[in-house]
């Protein structure tokens, strides 16, 4: 069964790129353009992984991660922050909010699947992305 990954991202280009890479590598992708819809979709679909932008409209990614981790139904889903926030302390702030990992934008399409492999059940570490 294909891993199901929820992307919560408001930027169309970033959403397209992440979706393309994941689909190309055999993942099923769910999409949400804002935090509230992302939380609702996570509750409805129970994905294997959430890729979360931090800079979202209305509800930032930190608040989304905290709300997910406080809901016992979806608290166990790993969350990886995928963000352009790359200042000192940003990684720690994402982890403190409940994220399991942190990837800086712009992402590298050649290494992205390696970066998320450890968060996906059944995907071996070191899986190379399909070009």
Beta strands, E only, 21-112: 28-32, 49-52, 79-83, 101-104
Pair 75, 45: CB distance under 8 Å: no
Mean pLDDT (the chain, rounded):
92
With CA atoms as reference, report the closest residue to 42 among 83, 81, 82, 4: 4
pTM of the model: 0.92
Domain architecture of the chain: domains with CATH: 4-117 (3.40.50.2300)
State the residue for tokens 């994220």.
Answer: 99
pLDDT in tens, 1-35: 889 999 999 999 999 999 999 999 999 999 999 99
């Amino acid at each position: 069964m294909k891993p199901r990954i929820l992307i919560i991202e408001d930027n169309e280009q970033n959403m397209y790129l992440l979706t393309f890479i994941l689909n190309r590598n055999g993942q099923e992708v769910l999409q949400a353009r804002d935090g509230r819809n992302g939380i609702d979709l996570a509750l409805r679909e129970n994905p294997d992984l959430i890729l979360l932008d931090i800079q979202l409209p209305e509800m930032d990614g930190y608040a989304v991660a905290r709300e997910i981790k406080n809901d016992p139904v979806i608290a166990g889903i790993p969350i990886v922050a995928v963000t352009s926030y790359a200042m000192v302390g940003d990684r720690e702030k994402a982890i403190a909010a409940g994220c399991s990992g942190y990837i800086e934008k712009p992402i590298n399409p050649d290494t992205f699947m390696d970066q998320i492999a450890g968060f996906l059940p059944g995907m071996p570490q070191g899986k190379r992305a399909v070009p």
